[in-house]
Amino acid sequence: MTYAQYRVLKAVETNPALSQRELAEQLGISLGKTNYCIRALLDKGWVKASNFRNSHNKRAYMYQLTPKGIDGKARLAMNFLRHKSAEFDALKKELAELYKDVNRLNGAD
């Protein structure tokens, strides 16, 4: 699963009535990528789509997370949290080294 799919799951959980176009705008990704993510989530059984009964637009769907999707979203969140924490720790170390270099250079003036 990708971070984009995690973001789609999160957005769909918050607002199931978003169209794919609205979802793409909200997430700042292309409509094609949004469609790809939704289809992948539907195929995995993490999201289900149902037509709006009272909608004038019969192509309008409501996306809902399934119980499998809720569990998957939680696992994805943990995996991304671990990954981003490791990146953050590496960045802090790199920044500390840069500060040392800058302080050393400033002291040499």
| CATH number of the domain within which 55 lies | 1.10.10.10
Per-residue pLDDT at 59: 64
- pTM, two decimal places: 0.74
pLDDT tens across 5-63, in order?
A: 999 999 999 999 899 999 999 999 999 999 999 999 999 999 999 876 555 555 678 89
Range of the domain at 59: 3-107
Per-residue pLDDT at 38: 94
Total structural domains within the chain: 1
Give residue 59's identity as a one-letter amino acid code: R
- CB neighbours of residue 70 within 10 Å: 12
Residue 29 CA, distance from chain mean position: 10
Place of tokens 């040499």: 108
b/e per residue, 25-52, with b = 16+ CB within 10 A?
eebebeeeebebbbebbeeeebbbeeee
Instruction: Report the pLDDT averaged over residues 84-92.
Output: 97
Per-residue pLDDT at 61: 84
Q: Which residues contact 44 (CB under 8 A, 6 or more apart)?
A: 68, 69, 72
